[in-house]
Amino acid sequence: MTRRLLALGDSYTVGEGADSGWPDLLAARLGADGVPVEWTVIAQTGWTSGELLDALDTGPPVGPFDLVTLLVGVNDQYRGLPIDNFAANARGLLGRAGELGRARLAVSIPDWGVTPFGADRDRTEVAADIDAFNAVWQAAAAAVGAEFVDVTPLSRAHPDEVTDDGLHPSTAHYRRWVDVIRPVAHALLDPAPGSVRG
């Protein structure tokens, strides 16, 4: 049975500049595991959490979905928007995801400060901001029982795995994300013991 998945986000969900973004790579891996999926993607480069909420209001997708993934917040942080606003939007997005799907999976914000694009920034300050936003994001997910996958350490461990813009993750880097997202997605889509194959 084909599972319906909805991906909500920004450039990291679009896969800006990469041959394949992580949703496509995850779909391929799940398909190879015998779990065919079809994705609906609502994401745009540059979107903040508020803009993603507005997009859902303007053109709500037709559910239900078996799984809704969410990755947003980097543009809130980059633009210097208040973290309290992000917290409220995060709760709103997770609530909308709960209305649309049977399961929810939130992915952490990667640290763009370590990339070549971030070379002229205060990387310590960017890292602290990213950590603060991710703490809010993780707490919001936990409050509603959504799964949370932390890919931020991977972004910090492999800062040069980026596209030609020096900022966005490359396909090779997104494969690392899929390695950690895949088992969680499996558990949400097919919670039977032993359903995840290595």
The DSSP secondary-structure symbol of 169 reads B
Neighbouring C-beta atoms of residue 185, cutoff 10 Å: 27
Output the CATH code of domain 3-189: 3.40.50.1110
pLDDT recorded at residue 195: 40
pLDDT recorded at residue 190: 80
Q: What is the pTM of this model?
A: 0.94
Give the pLDDT of the chain (198 residues) as one tens digit per residue: 899 999 999 999 999 999 999 999 999 999 999 999 999 999 999 999 999 999 999 999 998 999 999 999 999 999 999 999 999 999 999 999 999 999 999 999 999 999 999 999 999 999 999 999 999 999 999 999 999 999 999 999 999 999 999 999 999 999 999 999 999 999 999 865 444 433
* 105, 68 contact by CB (below 8 A): yes
pLDDT recorded at residue 191: 61
pLDDT recorded at residue 198: 34
Report residue 35: phi and psi, to 5°: -120, 85
pLDDT recorded at residue 196: 40
Report residue 153: phi and psi, to 5°: -60, -35
Q: What is the pLDDT of residues 92-135, one digit of tens each?
A: 999 999 999 999 999 999 999 999 999 999 999 999 999 999 99
Domain chopping of the chain, boundaries: 3-189
Q: What is the pLDDT of residues 162-172, one digit of tens each?
A: 999 999 999 99
Closest CA to 53 of 70, 74, 78: 70
pLDDT recorded at residue 192: 52
